[in-house]
Structure 1
């Protein structure tokens, strides 16, 4: 469906992506949906909001800048197709009284599963061993993997995703420590700690917090220096949490044994990129929350948030 397909008689909702799940489309029956395409630029989004004057944005891709918010005269709500709202200028939205909503928890199972998969892939050297086998090698006599049972997993962020990761790690007989100043009613198997303790005690660290100005570059040379040698690091949250050059240096000097990243400071990363070909570094293209089930849950969650916000006016 293209922007031209929007019915002029219905209030417009601009989707900053190429599609929505059918279940989400049905939820928004009565509104005209405008699709911006798979990778909309700021200029393209500006043109669409000026043309269609949407009452709502459903944000899949692209940044929602102050200029876009200002240009959308009838805008009442910005609804994220997912949980992270760092791509939305929330201050500009608040200045106009525009609600900003997230489909919290909709992709929690998918992201948690991906984080565990990356952690296991690091500990068990899945990717390099697979490559060696395909090249005709048999490394049984020389390779030693890492056993996670009995080791300490440090979680930064204890929301829906972090708690799911904690539950799986606990089932694998890992000790689980975590830091989240907003978390309440934690299960008994998560020990709350401050960040200095987490850096000092964790054998593996997994990031599950939103990106803010306060925690940008949280993983950097200084924090990595406080960590145990041979650290395993997983980031399925936001790329801005990790100072990429400092992580690369830590991988090269052995401070970090393995790292697995599903998000990056720039997406997609510019190519060629220093991460390419780096031993001990697993990369995936920010697809932790991209499953068919999560696609439906995020779409329906975003649509319901739109309706709830619009009904409040």
Structure 2
């Protein structure tokens, strides 16, 4: 098969124009993730793959693509969908798209914090159900975000720091897990995870999903949190043990959760859907028009650089 660029899922229009400028034939899928058989079939003979987090790039995929494959460009910051070791073993470069979505993800994180703390969806449902209501001193009380609450940031990287920047505008006290890459911040207190969980009114997750962080927030971690605390996750669903989270939300171990990612995504645990103390969104962290454009174009630029024999802008391996 003639070498080609394989794009399993349709990118933005501008990014697709950039793909075609590479000069190789382009095999492109639709808006939905391809079935596994189609993914392996269309990868065969590819010189470059510009994929998204929904495609599992493992040894089977790499072997199906063939030895001419030079680069897998992931249109995401995280790359837990890619077996980087298997790619490296085969001489395949892996890239991602860090930096360009920090602000958008931090914006959504603050949106989830505010919506959950101030019970925005509860109020919305009350009105849509057309139930009689009148303002009262005890009506739909929530957490005062700007009343000296403590925000615990688990993963103080680029996105974590962008969240901290926004939280400062709400006068939140900021604590975070230690980070070797983070510059010193005078107003951030770095704590190990157990103490951070105990002291925080809101805990927000911004660490990558690895074997070390899978189920980092389990039943024991949730028990360390305040019964009035809120958990926010815009990172990866697997960082949270959803069975434990459902039980914690049901029992009042914690007060609420705002989730943009899920352990078995795109499936959402139906128990979470039934809980009134959750705010749930379908992986919208980077879903700004300009942000998605930058992500897709950076991913294509990574692929084009490797095919041209150059160092890609944002390499993983």
Matches within 5 A, 1:232-271: 232-269=230-267
Find the residue that maps to 1:274 and give its secondary structure.
helix
2:57 is matched with 64
Query: How far apart are residue 24 of structure 1 and its match?
Result: 5.3
Indicate if the aligned counterparts of 1:24 and 1:296 stay in contact, CA closer than 8 A: no
Indicate if the aligned counterparts of 2:262 and 2:268 stay in contact, CA closer than 8 A: no
Query: How far apart are residue 27 of structure 1 and its match?
Result: 5.9
- Deviations along 1:162-216, one digit per CA (max 9) or x if unpaired, are 1111001111100011114333214333222211221111110111111001110
Question: 2:174, 2:274 → 1: CA distance?
Answer: 31
1:16 is matched with 8
1:138 is matched with 133
Find the residue that maps to 2:198 and give its secondary structure.
helix
2:273 is matched with 276
1:119 is matched with 113
Find the residue that maps to 2:152 and give its secondary structure.
strand
Indicate if the aligned counterparts of 1:263 and 1:286 stay in contact, CA closer than 8 A: yes
5+ unaligned residues in a row in structure 1: which ranges?
A: 1-7
Matches within 5 A, 1:21-100: 21-23=13-15, 25-26=17-18, 29=21, 30-37=23-30, 38-50=32-44, 53-60=45-52, 61-73=54-66, 74-100=68-94
- Deviations along 1:106-129, one digit per CA (max 9) or x if unpaired, are 211111111100000011000011
Query: How far apart are residue 58 of structure 1 and its match?
Result: 0.9
Give the length in aligned residue pairs.
Answer: 302
1:289 is matched with 286
Find the residue that maps to 2:279 and give its secondary structure.
strand
1:162 is matched with 160
Indicate if the aligned counterparts of 1:170 and 1:189 stay in contact, CA closer than 8 A: no
5+ unaligned residues in a row in structure 2: which ranges?
A: 311-317
Alignment root-mean-square deviation, CA: 1.8
Which runs of structure 1 show a deviation greater than 3 angstroms over 4 or more consecutive aligned residues? none
Query: How far apart are residue 279 of structure 1 and its match?
Result: 1.4
Find the residue that maps to 1:263 and give its secondary structure.
coil
